[in-house]
Amino acid sequence: MSKVIIVGAGGVGRVVAFKCAQAKEVFTEIILASRTKEKCDNIAADIQRQYGLSIKTDQVDADHVEEVVRLFKKHEPQLVINVALPYQDLSIMDACLQQGVHYLDTANYEPPDEAKFEYSWQWAYQDRFKNAGLIAVLGCGFDPGVTGVFTCHAAKQHFDEIHYLDIVDCNAGDHGKPFATNFNPEINIREITQNGQYYENGNWIQTKPHEIGKVLNYPNIGPRQSYLIYHEELESLVKNFPSIKRARFWMTFGEEYLTHLRVIQNIGMASIEPIEYEGKKIIPLQFLKAVLPDPGDLGESYEGETSIGCRVKGLKDGLEKTYYIYNNCKHQDAFHETGTQAVSFTTGVPAMIGAKMVLTGKWSGAGVFNVEEFDPDPFLDDLKTYGLPWHELENVDLEFE
Cβ-based nearer residue to ligand NDP, 112 or 321: 112
| Per-residue CA distances from 89 to 30, 74, 147, 299, 383 (Å) | 20, 20, 21, 27, 25
Nearest to 356 by CA among 390, 325, 336, 385: 385
Cβ-based nearer residue to ligand NDP, 159 or 374: 374
Q: Nearest to ligand NDP by Cβ — which residue?
A: 10
Q: Which of 29, 46, 58, 63 is in the footprint of ligand NDP by CB under 6 A? A: 63
Q: How far is CA 48 from the centre of its chain?
A: 26
DSSP string for residues in 122-190 = HHTTHHHHHHHT-EEEE--BTTTBHHHHHHHHIIIII-SEEEEEEEEEEE--B-S-SS--SS-HHHHHH
Q: Minimum distance between the CB of residue 6 and ligand NDP, rounded to whole angstroms?
A: 10
Q: Minimum distance between the CB of residue 397 and ligand NDP, rounded to whole angstroms?
A: 27
Q: Which of 77, 86, 148, 284 is in the footprint of ligand NDP by CB under 6 A? A: 86
Backbone φ/ψ region at 251: left (φ over 0), alpha (ψ -120 to 50), beta? beta
Query: How far from each other are the two terminal CA atoms of the chain, in whole angstroms?
Result: 51
**DSSP, res 303:** B
Cβ-based nearer residue to ligand NDP, 9 or 359: 9
Q: Which of 4, 31, 39, 302 is in the footprint of ligand NDP by CB under 6 A? A: 39
Cβ-based nearer residue to ligand NDP, 13 or 387: 13
Q: Which of 16, 19, 35, 93 is in the footprint of ligand NDP by CB under 6 A? A: 35
The DSSP bridge pattern shows strands 222-229 and 246-252 to be: antiparallel
Cβ-based nearer residue to ligand NDP, 143 or 166: 143
13 binds ligand NDP (CB under 6 A): yes
Q: Which of 46, 61, 373, 377 is in the footprint of ligand NDP by CB under 6 A? A: 61
Q: Which of 5, 79, 81, 141 is in the footprint of ligand NDP by CB under 6 A? A: 141
60 binds ligand NDP (CB under 6 A): yes
Q: Under rule CB under 6 A, how many of the chain's residues touch ligand NDP? A: 35
12 binds ligand NDP (CB under 6 A): yes
Q: Where are the beta strands (DSSP E) in 219-269?
A: 222-229, 246-252
Residues 385 and 28 sit within 8 Å (Cβ to Cβ): no
Give me the residues paired with residue 319 across strands: 316
Tell me which stretch binds ligand NDP (CB under 6 A): 95-103, 142-150, 243-251, 353-361.
142-150
Residues 390 and 383 sit within 8 Å (Cβ to Cβ): yes
Cβ-based nearer residue to ligand NDP, 87 or 400: 87
The CA distance from 363 to 349, in Å, is 16
Q: Minimum distance between the CB of residue 181 and ligand NDP, rounded to whole angstroms?
A: 8
- What is the Rg, in whole angstroms, of the alpha carbon atoms belonging to the chain? 20
10 binds ligand NDP (CB under 6 A): yes
Q: How far is CA 7 from the centre of its chain?
A: 14
Tell me which stretch binds ligand NDP (CB under 6 A): 5-13, 17-25, 234-242, 318-326.
5-13
Q: Minimum distance between the CB of residue 200 and ligand NDP, rounded to whole angstroms?
A: 24
Q: Which of 119, 129, 142, 363 is in the footprint of ligand NDP by CB under 6 A? A: 142
Nearest to 323 by CA among 146, 156, 199: 156
Q: Tell me whether residue 1 is exposed, middle or buried, using C-beta atoms within 10 angstroms of its C-beta: 0 to 12, 13 to 18, 19 or more.
A: exposed
Q: Which of 2, 106, 338, 370 is in the footprint of ligand NDP by CB under 6 A? A: 106
184 binds ligand NDP (CB under 6 A): yes
354 binds ligand NDP (CB under 6 A): no
Applying CB under 6 A, the residues found at the interface with ligand NDP are: 7-13, 34-36, 39, 60-63, 83-86, 88, 106-107, 141-145, 183-184, 187, 295-296, 343-344, 347
